[in-house]
Amino acid sequence: MDAIPLNRTLTDLPGLLGGTVETLRQQAAALDVSLSVEAAPGLPRVRVDAEKIAWAVATLVGNALRYVRCGTRRLPGGSIRVILRAEAGAVVIAVEDDGPGIPPEKVARLFLRGAGVTHGTGLALMLIQDVLVAHGGSVDVESHTDAFASGTTVSMRIPLGEAGQPL
One digit per residue, the tens of pLDDT, for the chain of length 167 reads: 457 899 999 999 999 999 999 999 999 999 999 999 999 999 989 999 999 999 999 999 999 999 998 888 788 889 999 999 999 899 999 999 999 999 988 888 887 766 445 545 567 888 999 999 999 999 999 999 988 889 999 999 999 865 444 44
- By the 8 A CB rule, do 109 and 126 touch? no
pTM for this predicted structure: 0.88
pLDDT averaged over every residue in the chain: 88
- Cα angle 140, 41, 9; round to 5: 65
Homologous superfamily (CATH) of 9-164 is Histidine kinase-like ATPase, C-terminal domain (3.30.565.10)
111/93 Cα distance (integer angstroms): 18
Smallest CA-to-CA distance from 110 within 96, 101, 100, 120 is with 120
* Structural domain boundaries in the chain: 9-164
Smallest CA-to-CA distance from 129 within 112, 111, 116 is with 111
